[in-house]
Amino acid sequence: MQLGMASALETLCGQSYGAKQYHMMGISLQRSWIILTGCAVLMLPIFVFTEPLLVFIGQDPAISAVAGTISLWYIPVMFACVFSFTLQMYLQAQSKNMIITYLAFVSLGVHLFLSWLLTVRLDLGLDGILTSMVIAMWIPVFGQLIFVFGGGCPLTWTGFSCVALTDLVPVLKLSLSSGVMLCLELWYNTILVLLTGYMRNAEVALDALSICLNINGWEMMISIGFLSAIGVRVANELGAGSARRAKFAIINVVATSFSIGLVFFIFFLFFRGKLSYIFTTSEEVAAAVASLSPLLAFSILLNSVQPVLSGVAIGAGWQSIVAYVNITTYYLIGIPVGAILGYVFGYHVKGVWVGMLLGTLIQTIVLVFITIRTDWDKQVEVTQERLKRWYITDGNKGKPDSGGSP
């Protein structure tokens, strides 16, 4: 939810940067902090009562107990994400990606060292891993805050402002639309795991599915990178008033991401279950992963395009439209078909996954159609109107920034 809501900042900051309304980026960042912190507080009960909630809906009590423990550790992670996600969107919108990359490397290195120290040397098990995760999640937050407050963004950060407390409702609406859009996508995979948990021999099925989803998640990080890149580029170009450059960026990024996805598609079809031995020594689980590998390969292929199109939607501010598309394709088509194939026809986890793939395929086709049929010159007009409506005069200058909306 927080990542989705933070993506509204990518729309606002990207378009403001393209229009050279630089000071509005700092104001938008502060507004997002207020909105996401409030959202995090409202979500606290879900993390506190995860175990009884899972037991209530019929999940295995042993698995629910572990999930409940992990969810409590995620509370500090949730508050770290409030700042981490928003700062990342803010910095990416102005192409300050290197500081994000450097901090990510530091965070990864610390995480790996602490994970080894706390689990292997000190034998703290799950608590050690989760302690390392919490520390690693806060490292980029403090690093990015020091960078921003220390003068790394002189044009876009001019200090805290009471103006950030005004006009919160329009930003909240866009944030909620963004959050719903992304949640509907992320929950889709979660429901796949949830439905698998009700099946016979659920432990093996969940182990195999977790391996497949981990591999898919690794590859999807590439597409997520393209999502961020195209979101920023489309927002920048629309803010700058260039429909032609926005379209050019979309074509190039989609083609590049799809080409990479095609390579991985062939790779995973060829190796099938052999990669599962990175995660497990169980022959039974490895065989289950091999059986699921074709579905994994097709998921990777679809995920090389779908996230990029979602990035286009974020850059253009279409979050509400995509949310409706996701509800229809995922929850009215994909999940019902998957449940029927998995439970009624007895295809188990394969049936559920096929239904999920069908929903993703239809969603991707719809997003391709919307993107192709869009009048991008009209989108420039819509963007300029939004920038004009939300513009606040820079108090430091007493007049609009050069190149901004009047």
pLDDT by 10s per residue, the chain, length 406 = 777 788 888 888 999 999 999 989 999 999 999 999 999 999 999 999 999 998 888 877 888 888 899 999 999 999 999 999 999 999 999 989 899 999 999 999 999 999 999 988 898 888 999 999 999 999 999 999 999 999 999 999 989 988 888 888 888 888 888 878 777 777 776 777 777 666 665 667 777 777 787 787 787 888 888 888 899 999 999 999 999 999 999 999 999 999 999 998 888 888 776 777 777 777 777 787 788 888 888 888 988 898 899 899 989 888 888 888 988 998 899 889 988 998 888 787 788 889 888 998 999 999 999 999 999 999 999 888 888 877 776 655 444 443 333 3
User: Residue 241 phi/psi, 5° resolution?
Assistant: 85, 20
For residue 402, the model assigns a pLDDT of 36
For residue 403, the model assigns a pLDDT of 39
For residue 28, the model assigns a pLDDT of 92
Q: For the whole model, what pTM was predicted? A: 0.79
For residue 70, the model assigns a pLDDT of 92
Q: Token pair 């990207």 is at which residue?
A: 14
Q: How far is CA 366 from the centre of its chain?
A: 20
Q: How does 97-128 read in b/e, with b if 16+ C-beta sit within 10 Å? A: eebbeebeeebeeebeebbeebbeeeeeeeeb
Q: Token pair 């997520």 is at which residue?
A: 224
Q: Is residue 216 within 8 Å of 268, Cβ to Cβ?
A: no
Residue 225, C-beta contacts closer than 8 angstroms, at least 6 positions apart: none
The CA distance from 297 to 265, in Å, is: 5
Q: Is residue 142 within 8 Å of 380, Cβ to Cβ?
A: no
In terms of Cβ atoms closer than 10 Å to its own Cβ (0-12, 13-18, 19+), residue 70 is: middle
Q: First vs last Cα of the chain: how many Å apart?
A: 34
Residue 36, C-beta contacts closer than 8 angstroms, at least 6 positions apart: 2, 5, 6, 82, 85, 86, 175
